[in-house]
Amino acid sequence: MRRRINLGRDPWFGIALVVPLLLWVAATLIYPLLEALRLSFQNVQYLGTAGKYVGLSNYRTILLSKDFQRSAGLTIWWTLLNTAGKILLALVCAFVLNQDYRGKTFVRNWIILPWVFPSIVLATMGKWLLDPTLGLINYILVSLGLIEKGISFLGNTTYALYVVTALNVWRWFPFFTVIFLAALQTIPKQMYEAAQIDGASRVKRLWYIDLPHLLPVIKVSTLIASLWSVNIFDLIWLLTRGGPASSTATLPIYIYIKGFQEFRISQAATAAIVLFVVLAIYGVIYYKRALDIELEG
Amino acid sequence: MKYVKSFFKYLSVILVLMLALGPMYWILVNSFKPTPELVSATPTFWPRTWTLEHYVNLFKQVNFVQYFLNSLWVALIATVISIILGALGAYSIYRCRYPGRNLFFGLFLSIYIFPRVLLLIPLYVTFSKIGLIDTIWTLVIVNVTVVAPFSVWLLRAFFSSVPRELEEAALVDGASRLQVLYKIFLPISAPGLGALGLNSFLLCWTEYMFAAIFILSDANKTLPVGMAYFLEQYFIDWGLLMSSSVLIALPAIIVFAIAGRYFVEGLTAGAVKE
């Protein structure tokens, strides 16, 4: 690569451009992070009141608490379900939409629409569709004779998590479908032609050409999907508030309830720091393995 | 045989489309049904009678216009700030060289893994101290924090498609670096900035968690928070929720119709490495 004589010169120009963003992030991301860290070593109850330093006792309390452990386990399960759901459904839809048909460009540009929907609309839609007496889902199930009476899916400790998962997957799968579609379209036509000459079946083409080609994109998408699933708050809160009986209280919900309903600010901050550390470790490992992003120059 | 194949092909495409878009149809149609039909035991897939009563109620019974304007202000101001900070930051990261550049890039990417709920507590305390709590400025600030670093990532594909030779040639011709940036580079990257604007607008427009905590008085509520109140009632006014759902989704769809193409491009170019 040839040297970039002009653009590389004068580091101060580059630094001056990045400083505003850097300052913003420092003030509203790094400073709160340090503040939360400080709170986690204190015993602050209500917001804005002072506390004493208590060492690691919050960490002991939180990590040993049954509620926290349960919520952590639930978060892992939720993340797995959501990530798998989004990626698998998106893969299937991408293969379907990658066929040759009329209006393909239109479909490709508009399939992502559920992703632009506000959580509140999604929550409204979910509550409406799943309402025990008015909801379409229960109406269909009753008409088919599968159940006798409408079920309150969101009020049921067994179903609630899966119902919220389904709605979240519904919102996000088009996002990943679009990414997979784009990746599928970069496969050279010659590869398909060669496969056709060799008489390979569609299944074989899918297995030996499409999936290997998609693999790097699937890895990146899985990382993004999982990180975005862990941190989901709005949808769960609006649909169930973590209930019934904490059956949908993933860590963000748990932290919110601890801090803003039970007014245990320090414990909430501690749980948030723990979550952050775990995510950071996961993120770093995964970035290094799957992404290896490099800056040019 | 050929027809059968073609039939299944179109059937599968239509099924996927119905899966993605069907629920929206259901909301839209229901927002036009009079309440008795809306809550009747047998759902109708096409309204027997059409009415605008739920839309009228929205303006009569609810502070809808106020919520709408609050949301709009937050989204617009935060988007402008995000574009400026994000575009400058991204240009610096991708086009300039100085020590610490990789570190900054990592820092901006780390917003991905940052649990947003972690920001709630410390920011609430800070905003209270400086007297910003219960104003839409809290939301502007926090939305920029979430969006701007992400834009560095989003702009990657767009920025790397602008040939360096163009900038170098302008520099040789005696333009300053700042001139090169705003007269040549940014205009060429307009689609990328459009994608960034879309992403930013949508995230701010739909944000709920921060708005629910930082805003206390009814007059300063944004749409998602205003609507959530109605969703939490024991007797839910479904008609009101249906019509407000349509009206809150509408701006998102309009913005998407304008800049969606660029966003999809940027999204896919960023994820699909050549």
Query: Pick from B92, B162, B57: which is nearest to A8 by CA?
Result: B92
Range of the domain at B187: 54-271
Q: A189 in a domain, yes or no?
A: yes
How far is it, in rounded angstroms, from Cα A38 to Cα A15?
Answer: 30
Kindly report the CATH number assigned to the domain that includes residue B203: 1.10.3720.10
Contact B117 A273 (CB under 8 A): no
Q: Which residues of A124-163 are buried (b: 16+ CB within 10 A; e: fewer)?
A: bbbbbbbbeebbbbbbebeeeeeeeebbebbeeeebbbeb
Kindly report the CATH number assigned to the domain that includes residue A182: 1.10.3720.10
Q: Does B175 touch chain A (CB under 8 A)?
A: no
In chain A, residues 157-176 whose CB comes closer than 8 Å to chain B: 170, 173-175
Categorize the per-residue pLDDT at A209 as very low, low, confident or very high, splitting at 50, 70 and 90: confident
For residue A52, which phi and psi values (nearest 5 degrees)?
A: -100, 155
Q: Which residues of B touch A107 (CB under 8 A)?
A: 13, 17
Q: Which residue of A has its CA nearest to B98?
A: A11
How far is it, in rounded angstroms, from Cα B50 to Cα B109?
Answer: 49
Q: A246 in a domain, yes or no?
A: yes
Cα torsion B96, B101, B104, B105: sign: positive
- Interface probe with A: pick from B46, B160, B272, most Cβ of A within 10 Å: B272
For residue A153, which phi and psi values (nearest 5 degrees)?
A: -60, -40
Contact A182 B271 (CB under 8 A): yes
Six token digits for residue B104? 């900054």
Q: Does A279 touch chain B (CB under 8 A)?
A: yes
Task: Residue B218: count other Cβ atoms within 10 Å of its Cβ.
Answer: 12
Range of the domain at A267: 66-291
How far is it, in rounded angstroms, from Cα A122 to Cα B190?
Answer: 31
The number of domains in chain A is: 1
Query: Do residues B247 and A273 make contact, with C-beta atoms less than 8 angstroms apart?
Result: no
How far is it, in rounded angstroms, from Cα A85 to Cα A173?
Answer: 8
How high is the pLDDT of residue A292? 54
C-alpha distances (whole Å) from A204 to each of A87, A191, A200, A217 are 21, 12, 6, 20
How high is the pLDDT of residue B271? 59
**Distance (Å) from the alpha carbon of A261 to chain B's nearest alpha carbon:** 12
What is the residue-level pLDDT of chain B in tens, covering all 274 positions?
778 888 888 898 999 888 888 888 888 998 999 888 888 777 788 888 888 888 988 888 888 899 999 999 999 999 999 999 999 999 888 888 888 888 888 888 788 778 888 898 889 888 988 999 999 999 999 999 988 888 888 887 788 778 888 888 888 888 888 888 888 888 888 888 888 898 899 999 999 999 999 999 999 999 999 999 888 887 888 888 999 999 999 988 888 888 888 887 777 766 555 4
For residue A42, which phi and psi values (nearest 5 degrees)?
A: -115, 175
How far is it, in rounded angstroms, from Cα B89 to Cα B193?
Answer: 13
Contact B224 A120 (CB under 8 A): yes
| pTM for this predicted structure | 0.89
Q: B3 in a domain, yes or no?
A: no
Mean pLDDT of A150-166: 90
Q: A284 in a domain, yes or no?
A: yes
Q: Which residues of A touch B163 (CB under 8 A)?
A: none
Cα torsion A258, A74, B224, A175: sign: positive
Query: Pick from A156, A160, A185, A191: which is nearest to A81 by CA?
Result: A160
Q: Which residues of A touch B89 (CB under 8 A)?
A: 17-18, 20-22
In chain A, residues 192-211 whose CB comes closer than 8 Å to chain B: none
- Interface probe with B: pick from A121, A221, A287, most Cβ of B within 10 Å: A121
How far is it, in rounded angstroms, from Cα A112 to Cα A94?
Answer: 12
How far is it, in rounded angstroms, from Cα B35 to Cα B10?
Answer: 36
Task: Residue A105: count other Cβ atoms within 10 Å of its Cβ.
Answer: 9
Q: B246 in a domain, yes or no?
A: yes
**Distance (Å) from the alpha carbon of A30 to chain B's nearest alpha carbon:** 10
* Those residues with Cβ within 8 angstroms of residue A127's Cβ, 6 or more apart along the chain or in another chain: A154, A239, B231, B236
Contact A31 B118 (CB under 8 A): no
How far is it, in rounded angstroms, from Cα A88 to Cα A173?
Answer: 9
DSSP A292: -
Q: A20 in a domain, yes or no?
A: no
Tell me the count of A-B CB pairs closer than 8 A.
311
In chain B, residues 72-131 whose CB comes closer than 8 Å to chain A: 84-86, 88-89, 91-99, 101-102, 104-105, 107-126, 128
**Distance (Å) from the alpha carbon of B30 to chain A's nearest alpha carbon:** 10
Q: B14 in a domain, yes or no?
A: no
Task: Give the number of residues written for chain B.
Answer: 274
Burial level of A175, CB count in 10 A (0-12/13-18/19+)? buried
ipTM exceeds 0.90, yes or no: no
Q: A87 in a domain, yes or no?
A: yes
Q: B211 in a domain, yes or no?
A: yes
Task: Give the number of residues written for chain A.
Answer: 297
Q: Does B209 touch chain A (CB under 8 A)?
A: yes
pLDDT in tens, A49-73: 777 888 888 999 999 999 999 999 9
Contact A6 B172 (CB under 8 A): yes
Residue A261, CB half-sphere, CA atoms under 13 Å: how many?
8
**Distance (Å) from the alpha carbon of B187 to chain A's nearest alpha carbon:** 17
Task: Residue A234: count other Cβ atoms within 10 Å of its Cβ.
Answer: 23
Q: B254 in a domain, yes or no?
A: yes
The number of domains in chain B is: 1
Query: Which bin fits A199, alpha (ψ -120 to 50), beta or left (φ > 0)?
Result: left
How high is the pLDDT of residue A267? 92
Query: Pick from B175, B207, B188, B178: which is nearest to B82 by CA?
Result: B207
Q: Does A140 touch chain B (CB under 8 A)?
A: no
Query: Pick from B148, B115, B153: which is nearest to A33 by CA?
Result: B115
* Those residues with Cβ within 8 angstroms of residue A290's Cβ, 6 or more apart along the chain or in another chain: A216, A219, A220, A222, A223
Q: A39 in a domain, yes or no?
A: no
